[in-house]
């Protein structure tokens, strides 16, 4: 934010009169104001002129306010942009859910103009303070926000981390064993994610094993619903000393951020079919994902196409058959308890049908907004997965119950055996319900159940 220029505010509300009222009031206070009537319009504004603060209504014609907030927090351009959330539901559960999704402030509608003005001024002040602290930490008092606020700007990114042929433009995130950068290849068009293993990661055999496994696995899978690895390097040459991997940049949010309320039923079925076809490619390559969950399913910003990623816990059956050692120590259970198949909980090896079980959990979440099994502790949660019957869907989704029962069957032999069979079963169900083949064209907005 250029502190000498008027702050740019974006008002996102489906009501023209509200947009006009807020726009006029904020303009009088010397702010530069843009407005949007939908999520799609908002992202069009953001692409042309990134706002310094967003005022977001809970209801939009093409998405929900919560889903829009999730997409804003997942988008590198708006990850740290202050968001003031407006809603007519001022209950404590709504307040908690919105703040957990990343809102900076929460106002009940109808919001008084004076209250909104105070909230805007407070959030802009906080943003300026954070920016000054970042600049001081970086030793760059003249730095300004470039691209995504959540990124360190290009001047602060470490150029030494870039392997030959790449230029780093920003730092996306840094962990104990790796750093993710936004980068450009000197010849390939577009941006990519460059993952570079740290010295601590290089010293950990398990981290290195997973890194090489993910690179080897994804390099041989080519499917539009599976994240693409362009290339990766071992880091043992003179030009670049750290292992690195160049991956496709998926610019939408994680599916996890789009959950919490029921999806329109055919939107849910369509996403499941896309996941089935992604797993068809994965399982066909001899790979079991082993940690399929909404966090590891991204949605492309322009089409809401699901993209399966994070294969660090995958099991490569072909490597095992060739005598290559397992990456994890014997006895370690891989996966996330809420999406873990009963046989994996019991200590048996994961199989393709274990990924299918995780898809069943996701399917139930899409249709109901809740997980099929939930408990305050892991022990009870695992007991439910192993012993409790499959929950019944609401009556309006009764036609989907047989499919859900097969996906969440306790015995893996009672489930679709792999992604290909799951995709086939979903296609057959779609045809039986509609009399036509599935509609697979990319969506430009998400519909929730009314």
Name the token pair of 366.
Answer: 């899409």
Q: For residue 420, count CB atoms less than 10 angstroms from its CB and return exposed for 0-12, middle for 13-18, buried for 19 or more.
A: middle
* Distance in angstroms (rounded) separating the CA atoms of residues 431 and 83: 42
| Vertex 98: Cα angle to 93 and 104 (nearest 5) | 130
Q: Which of 62, 75, 105, 291 is catalytic?
A: 291
Q: Residues 83, 70: contact at Cβ < 8 Å? A: no
Alpha-carbon dihedral angle through residues 52, 53, 59, 63, given to the nearest 10 degrees: 30
Cα–Cα distance, 97 to 423 (Å, whole number): 33
- Residue 405 annotated to the active site: no
What's 91-158 look like in SS3? CHHHHHHHHHHCCCEEEECCCCHHHHHHHHHHHHHHHHHHHHHHHHHHCCCCCCCCCCCCCECCCCCC
Compute the distance between CA of residue 111 and CA of residue 117 in angstroms, rounded to an integer: 10
* Active site residue ranges: 291
């Amino acid at each position: 934010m250029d502190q000498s220029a008027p702050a740019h505010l974006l008002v996102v509300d489906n009501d023209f009169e509200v947009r006009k009222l807020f726009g006029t009031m904020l303009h009088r206070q010397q702010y530069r104001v843009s407005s949007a009537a939908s999520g799609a319009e908002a992202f069009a504004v953001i692409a042309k002129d990134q706002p310094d603060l967003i005022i977001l209504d809970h209801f939009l014609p093409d998405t929900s306010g919560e889903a829009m907030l999730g997409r804003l927090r997942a988008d590198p351009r708006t990850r740290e942009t202050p968001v003031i959330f407006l809603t007519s539901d001022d209950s404590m559960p709504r307040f908690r859910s919105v703040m957990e999704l990343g809102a900076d402030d929460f106002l009940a509608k109808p919001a008084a103009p004076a209250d909104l003005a105070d909230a805007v001024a407070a959030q802009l002040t906080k943003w300026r303070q954070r920016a000054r602290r970042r600049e001081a930490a970086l030793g760059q008092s003249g730095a300004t926000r470039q691209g995504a606020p959540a990124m360190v700007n290009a001047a602060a990114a470490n150029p030494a981390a870039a392997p030959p042929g790449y230029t780093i433009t920003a730092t996306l995130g840094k962990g104990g064993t790796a750093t993710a950068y936004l980068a450009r290849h000197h010849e390939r068009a577009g941006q990519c994610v460059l993952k570079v293993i740290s010295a601590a990661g290089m010293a950990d055999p398990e981290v290195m094993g997973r890194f090489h496994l993910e690179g080897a696995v994804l390099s041989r899978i080519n499917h539009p619903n599976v994240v693409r690895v362009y290339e990766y390097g071992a880091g043992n040459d003179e030009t670049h000393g750290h292992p690195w991997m160049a991956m496709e940049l998926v610019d939408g949010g994680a599916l996890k951020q789009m959950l919490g309320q029921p999806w329109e039923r055919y939107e849910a079925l369509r996403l499941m079919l896309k996941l089935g076809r992604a797993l068809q490619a994965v399982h066909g390559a001899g790979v079991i994902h082993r940690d399929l969950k909404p966090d590891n399913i991204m949605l492309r910003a322009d089409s809401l196409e699901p993209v399966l990623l994070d294969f660090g816990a995958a099991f490569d059956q072909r490597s095992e058959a060739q005598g290559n050692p397992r990456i994890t120590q014997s006895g370690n259970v891989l996966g996330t308890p809420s999406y873990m198949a009963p046989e994996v909980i019991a200590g048996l090896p994961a199989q393709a049908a274990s990924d299918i079980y995780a898809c069943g959990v996701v399917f139930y979440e899409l249709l109901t907004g809740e997980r099929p099994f939930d408990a305050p502790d892991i022990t009870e949660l695992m007991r439910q997965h192993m012993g409790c019957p499959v929950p019944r869907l609401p009556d309006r989704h009764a036609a989907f119950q047989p499919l859900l029962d097969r996906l969440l069957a306790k015995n893996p032999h009672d489930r679709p055996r792999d992604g290909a069979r799951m995709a086939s079963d979903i296609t057959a169900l779609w045809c039986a319900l509609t009399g036509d083949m599935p509609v697979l064209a990319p969506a430009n907005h998400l519909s929730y159940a009314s």
